[in-house]
Copies of this chain bind each other. A is one copy, B any other.
Amino acid sequence: MKKKSKAQIEIEQLRKNNFSTKRATVKNLEKILYKSFKVLDYGFIRVVDYMGDDSSIVQAARVSYGKGTKKLNQDKSLINYLISHRHSTPFEMNEIKFHVKLPIFVARQWIRHRTANVNEYSARYSILDKEFYIPKHKDLKPQSKSNNQGRSGKLSLDEAENYSKIIKENSRIGFENYSKLLNENEEGEKIENSREGLARELSRMTLPLNAYTQWYWKIDLHNLMHFLSLRFDPHAQFEIRVYAEIMMDILKKWVPLTHNAFVTNRLNALTISSDGIKYLKSLINGKGPTPKGISKRELDALKKIFNC
C-alpha cells in the first residue's frame, strides 16, 4: 500500500510536466501519458514516452524536408497503401515506450518478440512484491478439445472455486518460502538474526510463474502492429490478449489513420491460399464442384466466413 502510493505520487508528478517542444506531438496521447491502465488483478500498462505521429510516417515515406503531408485525405490514402502493400519501413520511424506489470508466464510469451527493447526489474538485485495473478472464476476453463494450445468451455462453479483456491494457496506458499530463503519479511526486516539468508538470485526460484514482474518495453510502430496481430488475435492466450486490447486503444489515440488501416487491412483481413482462390473462383463463377487440393481447414474457414 505504502509502495503503491509512492508510485502514484511519482506518476502524478510526471503528469504535471509541461514542456515546450518542436517535435510532432499527439494531444490525445499526451492526455494519457504516464497514466496506469489496470490489467488483470495486479498488472498495468502505461505509456512512458512516444516518438512521431501519423504524419511522421508520411514524412519518412516521402523523405521530405517539411511535414511531408499535404491533405488529410492524401495521408490516409498513402498510409492505407503502405499497410496493405506491407511497406514496413515508414512505420518503423515511430516509437512507443511502455511500462508494464505482468505475470511471469505472460512475460515469457511477450519476450519472444525480439525486435523490441526491454529493461526488466531484476530479481537478482531487488525483491519482488507479494503479488500473484489469480484468474477470475470465469477465466478458469478446461483444455480446448479442438485447439491443442488453448482453453475453451466452462467448469462447474465447484471446480473453478477449487482451482482458484489451489492457485492462491500455491502462491502463498511460494512467497512464504521466498521470504524464508531471503530471511527477510515484507517490511525488509530480517526474520531470524541467527540466519544469513540465501542470495536473492537463488531465493526467487520458489516463486511460481503467476508472480508479477515488470519492465520497460519499447517498440517501433511496425513491430507493435506485428505484436498486436499475434496477441490481439482470438487464439492468443487470454492473459496476454487483455494487454493487447489496451494497446489497441492506445494505438488509436496515437496514430488514428494507421490504426484504421491496420484494422481493415491486417487485423480483419483474410489471407487465402492459391487453392482457396481457385475454390472461391469456381464458387463465384458457378462452375460447380469444389476444386481439389484445398485443405479441410481452409475449406471450413472459407465456408464460415463467406457463409456458403
Interface residues of A, CB < 8 Å — how many? Answer: 133
Determine whether the beta carbon of A271 is less than 8 Å from that of B274.
Answer: no
Check A274/B264 contact, CB under 8 A, given A89-B117, A124-B149, A199-B142: yes
Interface string of A185-219 (1 = CB under 8 A from B): 00000000001111111101111111000111010
A92 to B202, CA, bound (A): 28
Pick from A112, A205, A295 the residue with the most CB of B within 10 Å.
A205
Within 8 A of B (CB), among A9-35: 9-11, 13-15, 17-25, 30, 33-34
Complex formed: what's the CA distance from A290 to B298 in Å?
A: 25
A117–B220 touching, CB < 8 Å: yes
- Give the docked Cα–Cα distance between A163 and B67 (Å): 38
A209 touches B216 (CB 8 A): no
The answer to whether A245 has its CB under 8 Å from any CB of chain B is no
* Contact between A144 and B199, CB atoms less than 8 A apart: yes
**A234 sits at the interface (CB 8 A):** no
B-chain residues with CB within 8 Å of residue A67 when the two chains form the complex: 10, 13-14
**Docked-complex contact B295 and A308, CB < 8 angstroms:** no
- In the complex where A18-B20, A166-B206 touch, is A199 in contact with B150 (Cβ < 8 A)? yes
8 Å CB contact of A198 from B97, B140, B305? B140
A207–B132 alpha-carbon span in the complex (Å) = 13
Check B280–A274 contact: CB distance below 8 A. Answer: no
Complex interface residues of chain A between 257 and 308 (CB less than 8 A to chain B): 263-265, 268-277, 280-281, 283-285, 295, 297-298, 305-308
Which one of B15, B112, B143 contacts A199 once the chains associate, using CB atoms below 8 Å?
B143
A181 to B169, CA, bound (A): 13
A286 to B165, CA, bound (A): 54
Residues of B within 8 A of A174 (CB): 170, 174, 208
Taking CB atoms, residues of chain B closer than 8 Å to A129 are: none
Task: Judge whether A204 and B209 touch: CB under 8 Å.
Answer: yes
Known pairs A89-B119, A108-B108, A285-B306. 15 more at Cβ < 8 A?
Answer: A11-B66, A21-B21, A104-B108, A124-B237, A167-B177, A169-B177, A207-B208, A208-B209, A264-B275, A265-B274, A268-B273, A270-B272, A271-B271, A281-B307, A285-B308
Query: Closest 5 CB pairs between A and B?
Result: A10-B66, A151-B199, A268-B274, A19-B25, A92-B117
